[in-house]
Structure formats: structure tokens, C-alpha cells
Amino acid sequence: MTNLRLRGGWIPLSIVVLILAVLPVAGVSGRWLLYIFLFFVYLSIANMWNLLCGYSGLVCLCLPAFVGLGGYTLVIGTWIGLPTPLGIIAGALVAAGFALLISVPVFRLKGIYFAIGTLVVPEVLKYVFFLWRPVGGALQGGGAGYVLKTADGFSTMDIYWLGLFVGFASVFLLRFILSSKLGSGLAAIRDNERTAAICGIDVFRLKLYSFVIAALVTGMAGTIFYLRQAYIEPASSFSITWTMIAIVGVITGGLRTQAGPILGTMIVVLLLFLLSRYAGYSLIIQGIILLGVMLAAPQGIMGFIGKTRIYRSVVQLASERRY
């Protein structure tokens, strides 16, 4: 597949980040800021699924587990007096620690069995949190959910900037990984795991790195999302909807491309806006759109664009000017 990258270096992307950062103080309506905030959160999750599935060959379906654990760590932390900044960090670390914990059993599974095994994980956690009841104290709720007790002075604007940070940090992190030895090793594993192992690549270790990194970023995205949501309960926090958001965003935009998840996530948020009146049918419609894109453009929108003559001419002209 064509490896379409965010061409033009860091400067154009930094300018976009700067423009997005000033929107809250520029008088943009709260509704638009909410959708842009969701774009940031969804983008970080989509980028991590792209890292796992597109670049590591791991069809991982347990992202809701990391989102839910990150969110629960933050919310429960506010009940026991943990400062919100530490709660955000703790949520990311708990998600990464959980990924480390389950890595040994799930990595024994291959192919479709790995996908099914990871799909079960958030469902098990959902069941556990439905049954969980803390003993003693004022902390109550369990399956009914918990309200964020305090935001420690974090305003809606502050939370927006946190979303901006985690969204575009995932973009820069993905670029950094792909340009490192880790990225080269993951590409070799994705292409042929047995050959990579014969060549001396530590397959388990590199898979573990990508798995834990994805859990860390996804867990942090979960904490920031539920910091704004101010309420968490098992059904939505461990919902397969999180996985669908990542898959639709990445597949629609272009798997194994860096610009694909950005474009695909924009489409996901647009669908969220357009389908807000039909919430019960949202996943069905997204599934139909995903199927249509896979049939019409198997490499996603960016893959389709990459094959066009105009795009190749623009890329060639940019390369000539660079040198």
C-alpha cells in the first residue's frame, strides 16, 4: 500500500495546531468547540488503532478497555482526593499497565483469534464494573456510574486544550515511531512475522511496545473525554462504539497512512453531527458507509487520492523544489 505521509514537515502541522488552539478565545460557539474537541479525542484513538492494525499488524479490538479504565481512574480518583492532573496521568498509566498485564495471554493468539480475544476484553470489564460495589465510605454507584466530584478548576477551555494536546501529540508520536527503529521493526513483523523473527527481531517485545504505547495514549484520551463528560458508567465507557469510531476513521481515511486518520476522523465527527437525531441507527449507518468505502476504495480515501495523476504530479513538484 502506498505510504502517504503528512508531507511538508512539521511547520504546516504546527500552524494548524496554533490556529485550533486560539479558537476558544476567538469567540467560536460552544457547539463547534465540542465537535472539534471530539475530533481531537477520536483522532488520538484512531491514530493508535492505525499504529496497531496498520503498522504492527495487530487487529486489536480492545481499545474501549483502555478508554474505560482511563476514565474510571480519573473519576474515582476525584472521589478519593487525587488531584485532576495526577488523575489524568494515572488513567493513562493504568491503561498501559492493563495492556502490559493482558499482553502475555492475548499475544499467544494469532490472526482472527487475536481479534476475537481482544474484543472480549472490554466486554468482561463492562460486566465487572456493572457488578462492582465499593465497600464503605461515600463512594457509591457501581454499575449505575459515577459523577466527577471535582475538576480542580479545569474550565471547558482548559479541557479543550487538553484534547488538542492529546490529539496532535498522537500525530507527532506516530510520525516519530514510524521514523525510528521501532517503526522499521513493526513493518517487518507486519509483512512476515516468521521472517522477522529469523532475522533477529524480537517480535514479542516490539509488539508489546506498540500495544502499551497505544494503551497509554488511548487511556489518556479516555481521561480527557470523561473530564469533560463529568460522568462515567460501564455501558458507554466500555462500548464497542469506541472501536467503531477508530475503525471507521482509519479505514475511511486510509489504513497505514498518516493523513488518513485525520481525514477519516473528520468524516466520523461530521457523521456524528448529521446523525445526532438518529442515534439508534448511527452504528448501522457507519457500518454501511465503511462497507461502501471498502468496496469502492479498498485503500481508503487517501489511498485513492494517492493513485491520481494530479496528486503524483504535486508530490513530484514538491520533491523537486525541496532538492
- Angle (CA) 32-35-38 rounded to 5° is 150
Mean pLDDT by 10 residues, the chain (323 residues): 51 86 92 95 97 92 97 93 95 98 92 94 93 62 81 91 96 92 89 86 92 98 96 93 92 90 92 76 76 78 69 50 49
By the 8 A CB rule, do 258 and 175 touch? yes
Q: Is the pTM of this model over 0.75?
A: yes
Please enumerate in sequence order all residues whose Cβ is within 8 A of that of 23, keeping only pairs 6 or more positions apart, or say none: 32, 33, 36
How high is the pLDDT of residue 323? Answer: 47
Query: What gap in Å lies between CA 239 and CA 223, rounded to an integer?
Result: 15
Q: Assign residue 270 a region (left: φ > 0; alpha: ψ between -120 and 50; beta: otherwise).
A: alpha
How high is the pLDDT of residue 151? Answer: 84
130 residue type, one letter: F
**By C-alpha distance, which of 208, 229, 205, 177 is closest to 70?**
229
Query: What gap in Å lies between CA 110 and CA 248, rounded to an integer?
Result: 23
How high is the pLDDT of residue 314? Answer: 47
How high is the pLDDT of residue 154? Answer: 92
By the 8 A CB rule, do 66 and 219 touch? yes
How high is the pLDDT of residue 234? Answer: 93
SS3 52: helix
How high is the pLDDT of residue 317? Answer: 47
Query: What gap in Å lies between CA 48 and CA 52, rounded to an integer?
Result: 6
How high is the pLDDT of residue 42? Answer: 97
How high is the pLDDT of residue 242? Answer: 95
By the 8 A CB rule, do 42 and 195 touch? no
